[in-house]
Structure formats: structure tokens, C-alpha cells
Amino acid sequence: MFYLFVYCKIPMKEQSLKVAVIGAGMAGLLAAREIKREGHRVIVFEKTSRLGGTWVYDPRVETDPLGLDPSRKIVHSSMYSSLRVNLPRRLMGFLDYPFLKKQDGDTREFPGHREVLRYLEDFARDFWLVELIRFEHEVVRVERVNGVSHEWIVEWRTREGESEEEEVFEAVIVCNGHHTEPRIAEFPGMDTWPGVQIHSHNYRTPEPFKNKIVVLIGNGPSAHDILREISSVAKEVHQALRASDVHFKKLENRNNIWQHPVIERTDEDGKVIFQDGSFVCADIIIHCTGYKYHFPFLRTNGIVNMDDNCVGPLYKHVFPPYLAPWLSFVGLPYRAVPTLIIELQSRWLAKVLSGKLALPCEEEMASSVEELYQHMNESGRPKHHTHQLQQNKFDYENWLVNQLGLPPLEDWREQLYFYALKKIPSDAGDDYRDWDTWDINQWIQE
Ligand code: FAD
């Protein structure tokens, strides 16, 4: 197909807009700061009584431990009590607001979750963001007024009284997070299997797994943390992995952890049968299988769709071409440094909204998205990987930096990130976070 690349930018004059930000987690805070810096008027809607989103540890778990019942009472955060960050703090800090060690805080290079929450609280205080937040305001509807792109009704309810009110904004930035709605593994027999099944969203501490035989599905950073933690109290832990080279084996340095390929089926007598024929009679299955994007409040008449966990079409994972720049999403990409992506996206969209940076025209943005889909299709990548920045380079981050006219990102960021990724052990070895080769200063000097 021949594409005529006329650089047809959306013309916008410099302007100050009334902007709604949904969510006061890391993305909402960064978006609010950038929007405010650009001189726009911003209101942040936050459904809970605290800022920080994921980093606000909540010991409660949901009524449906697998998260399938749409009427369940939702607990936002998926934090477990022992969680320590999986990236060095030097990488996690914002470009102009480093994640410094504080005398009275958790000074480890990979601190616990409370330290991140404190960092976000300090950030919000230092940039006068707290006064922009309407706490306990849950957004229940976002919809264009009579189909006009830059007039959006935002409807919310407050906790007490559940009254619903609405207000009109010129732009809406969606920052509601994507680690709350569980995605589960599916296999024949799961509905009639007699044991307990939970998703890692509802994992807090290892005690409920004491002396149990557990099957853990998954291979991501949380799966590794939870596997290690559960194995210290459980009788046996059997990890089911999707990788093609996995076969039944006991882990060398552990006396109660086995690896298997994926689950083929489960039986009513409690058996869990894996694809290679190995099996175990288990008490609990824990699904550490990730999350789904979820925007229950968004009504766009089909302009923005969810298909196989792909939110689209979205130009550069931020703007739906036919609603840009009045509707945008921050923080969707994963397999990346979340803080860096969120900060760069926020700066970019704030400057687009104020007319300092222009977007290509609708058609060009739409064909850019089509090209991405086509490329994914040709290279055999499934649709649900659309927002996964899977390569081994910071291409997307560098593209944003380039748009913003910022100096190139320092090489150490990319190198340290990919080094850190490799250190997340594949065999449940000792805790990589305390590895004594983490001399970050040396890394940065090199
Ligand atoms: P969230 O933090 O989820 O914030 C979303 C906010 O929106 C919440 O406050 C929520 O209450 C609010 N909200 C949702 N719906 C509504 C609504 N309808 N109305 C009003 N408000 C609403 N990242 C790292 O960089 N390092 C790590 O080590 C790391 N570890 C992680 C471990 C776990 C277990 C998880 C789940 C994530 C981890 N992450 C890590 C990723 C983390 O999610 C991001 O760092 C970042 O916190 C995402 O911020 P966010 O604002 O997009 O989403």
C-alpha cells in the first residue's frame, strides 16, 4: 500500500483549557503537574481518600478472589505486604525529581512500597497538586456533549450519599491505572475444580498458604516474588509456565518448588494436570497472570474500543485519532520504566493541549496505528501485546524525548533497565534486589 505522507498537523493556537484528570496515582499526578505547568486549569478526580493509587497498600481483599464477579466490591491496589520495587530507585525517579534516599526512610536501592508512596506524597506536596484533587470522587461517566470533541461531561459520585453530579470539561486525561482488573488463565475443568483459586491481585501475605500444595501460574516479576514467599510456608509449590522449553523439574536450590508447562485441565478430584502429563493434587491455584485494561466510565460510541486487551485506536498509545487531543490516556505501555513513560507522555500531551506541539492530522494518526497493527500481525505478535514495549531499545521513549526537544536520554538508563530485567531470576534464586553488584553510581559513571 502506498501512503502519502503529507505532514498535516492539527492546527491549535496556544490556549488554557479546563482539564479533568481521572485518577491520582503516579500517572494522574504527573499529568496534573504538566497540565498545570502549561497554564491549564486542572481537576483530578480520585475515587479513594488517598493519592498514590497502586502504592497505597490495602490489606483488604475482594469478595471474589478471582475477580470475575462484576458486582464484587473492588479494592484498587494489588500491592502485597512484602513488595519491594523491581527497578533501582535511580531509574524510578522522575527526570527532574529524583527518588532520593531519605535518612528516616527506606534507604535500600530497591525500597519497599511504602517508600514509593512517600515519594509520590512528597511530589504532590512540593508541586501543590493536593489542592487539585477531589478525593472520594469516583468518575462513573465520561461522554462527549452532543458529539462535540472538546466538550466532555464528567459525571461522578461521592462515597457518602452516592449522589451523582456532572461538570463539563474541554479535555479529559484517563489515568485510572491498569493493575486492578484481573486476567485469569483458562483451562478445562476450572469451574468444577474443588480447591481455592485466587488471582495475585488478592494476594497480600503468605499465611493462607501454610502447609498447602499450591499451583502458581505465571512468570512475571510478581509471580517470582509470590513464588519465593509462598514456598517458605507451603508444603509444595508447582509453577506452571508458558515458555516453550519448560519441562517438569524440581528446582535445584529449593526443596519444595517444581516447574511444569501450562495446565492442560483440572479434575473434580482435585488433580491439576499439566501439558506434559505431569500432575499434582493441589489445594490452591494462584493466577499470577496479569491484568486487563478497564474503563467502565468511558462512552465514546465505539470510537475507542477494547479488543483482546488492546485499547484502540490510539496514536502512540496516548491519543485516539478522532478525539485527539481532547481525550488521552497516560501510562498504558508496559515492559518499560513506568515512571519515565508516564512523565514523557504527560509532558507531551500537556504541550499538545496548549498548542505548543502539534499532532499529525486524524488520517495520518490513524494510518500510523494501522501500520503498527499490520507490523504486529506480520511478525506474529498477538493483539493483546499492542501496548507491550517489547524490544530491547528505548525507541518509544526516545521518540517522545525527540518530540519534546529534550536532550537525549542518558545511555545508562536503557542499559540499567535491561540489566535489571535480566536479574529477575527465572529459577526462584536468591533475592536479586540485594545483589552486591548493584553499585548504581559505578553504572552511571560508566
Ligand atoms: P494507579 O497507581 O493504579 O492509579 C490509578 C488511580 O486512579 C488510583 O488512585 C485509583 O483509585 C484511581 N481511579 C481508578 N478509577 C477511577 C475512577 N473511576 N474515578 C476516579 N479515580 C479512579 N512500577 C515500577 O516502576 N516499579 C515497580 O517496582 C513496580 N511494581 C509494581 C508491583 C505491582 C504489584 C503492581 C500492580 C504494579 C507495579 N508497578 C511498578 C507499576 C505501577 O502500576 C506503576 O508504577 C504506577 O504506579 C502506575 O500508576 P497509575 O497512576 O497509572 O495507576
- For residue 170, what pLDDT band results from cuts at 50, 70 and 90? very high
Q: Which atom of ligand 1 is the closest one to the Cα of 48?
A: 11
What average pLDDT does the structure give for the chain? Answer: 92
Nearest residue (by CA) to ligand 1, atom 49, is 26
- Centre of ligand 1 to C-alpha 196, Å, is 27
Tell me the per-residue pLDDT of 122-137, one tens digit each, with 9 for 90 and over: 999 999 999 999 999 9
- For residue 222, what pLDDT band results from cuts at 50, 70 and 90? very high
Q: Which residues contact 338 (CB under 8 A, 6 or more apart)?
A: 26, 331
Pairwise pLDDT comparison (157 vs 435), residue with the higher score: 157
Tell me the per-residue pLDDT of 301-326, one tens digit each, with 9 for 90 and over: 999 999 999 998 999 999 999 999 99
Mutate to test the pocket of ligand 1, among 84, 176, 204, 332 (most ligand atoms within 8 A of CB): 176
Nearest residue (by CA) to ligand 1, atom 3, is 177
Where do we find the cell 485516539? 320
pLDDT for the residue numbered 443: 66
pLDDT for 425 beyond 80: no
pLDDT for 10 beyond 60: no
pLDDT (average), residues 45-56: 98
Nearest residue (by CA) to ligand 1, atom 45, is 338
Nearest residue (by CA) to ligand 1, atom 31, is 85
Mutate to test the pocket of ligand 1, among 26, 48, 54 (most ligand atoms within 8 A of CB): 54
Nearest residue (by CA) to ligand 1, atom 23, is 338
pLDDT for the residue numbered 292: 97
pLDDT for the residue numbered 352: 97
Q: Which amino acid is at 209?
A: F
- Centre of ligand 1 to C-alpha 113, Å, is 12
- Centre of ligand 1 to C-alpha 419, Å, is 24
pLDDT for the residue numbered 251: 85
Q: Which atom of ligand 1 is the closest one to the Cα of 180?
A: 3
Q: How far is CA 59 from CA 70, 103, 117, 235, in A?
A: 21, 27, 15, 24
Pocket of ligand 1 (CB under 6 A): 22-28, 45-48, 53-55, 76, 78-79, 83, 85-87, 92, 138-139, 175-177, 179, 222, 297, 331, 338-339
Q: How many CA atoms lie within 13 A of 105 on its CB side?
A: 18
Q: Which residues contact 251 (CB under 8 A, 6 or more apart)?
A: 257, 258, 259, 427, 428
pLDDT for 2 beyond 90: no
- Centre of ligand 1 to C-alpha 377, Å, is 29
- Centre of ligand 1 to C-alpha 6, Å, is 38
- Centre of ligand 1 to C-alpha 247, Å, is 34
- Centre of ligand 1 to C-alpha 414, Å, is 22
pLDDT for the residue numbered 362: 97
- For residue 163, what pLDDT band results from cuts at 50, 70 and 90? confident
Q: Which atom of ligand 1 is the closest one to the Cα of 140?
A: 18
- Centre of ligand 1 to C-alpha 366, Å, is 28
With pLDDT > 90 as the criterion, what percentage of the chain qualifies?
A: 81
pLDDT for the residue numbered 434: 77
pLDDT for the residue numbered 301: 94
Give the highest mean pLDDT range of 9-18, 341-350, 385-394: 341-350
pLDDT for 160 beyond 90: no
Q: Which atom of ligand 1 is the closest one to the Cα of 138?
A: 19
Nearest residue (by CA) to ligand 1, atom 28, is 85
- Centre of ligand 1 to C-alpha 53, Å, is 5
pLDDT for the residue numbered 438: 62
Q: What is the model's pTM? A: 0.95
pLDDT (average), residues 55-78: 96
Mutate to test the pocket of ligand 1, among 179, 226, 298, 318 (most ligand atoms within 8 A of CB): 179
Tell me the per-residue pLDDT of 343-358, one tens digit each, with 9 for 90 and over: 999 999 999 999 999 9
pLDDT for the residue numbered 244: 72
Compute the radius of gyration of the chain from its Cα atoms: 23
Question: What is the longest distance spanned by two Cα atoms in the chain?
Answer: 68
Tell me the per-residue pLDDT of 321-336, one tens digit each, with 9 for 90 and over: 999 999 999 999 999 9
pLDDT for 145 beyond 80: yes
pLDDT for 441 beyond 90: no
Q: Which atom of ligand 1 is the closest one to the Cα of 177?
A: 53
pLDDT for 282 beyond 60: yes
pLDDT (average), residues 177-204: 97
Tell me the per-residue pLDDT of 209-218, one tens digit each, with 9 for 90 and over: 999 999 999 9
pLDDT for the residue numbered 161: 63
d(C-alpha 18, C-alpha 25), whole Å: 20
- Centre of ligand 1 to C-alpha 77, Å, is 7
- Centre of ligand 1 to C-alpha 24, Å, is 9
pLDDT (average), residues 80-87: 95
Nearest residue (by CA) to ligand 1, atom 7, is 23
- For residue 245, what pLDDT band results from cuts at 50, 70 and 90? confident
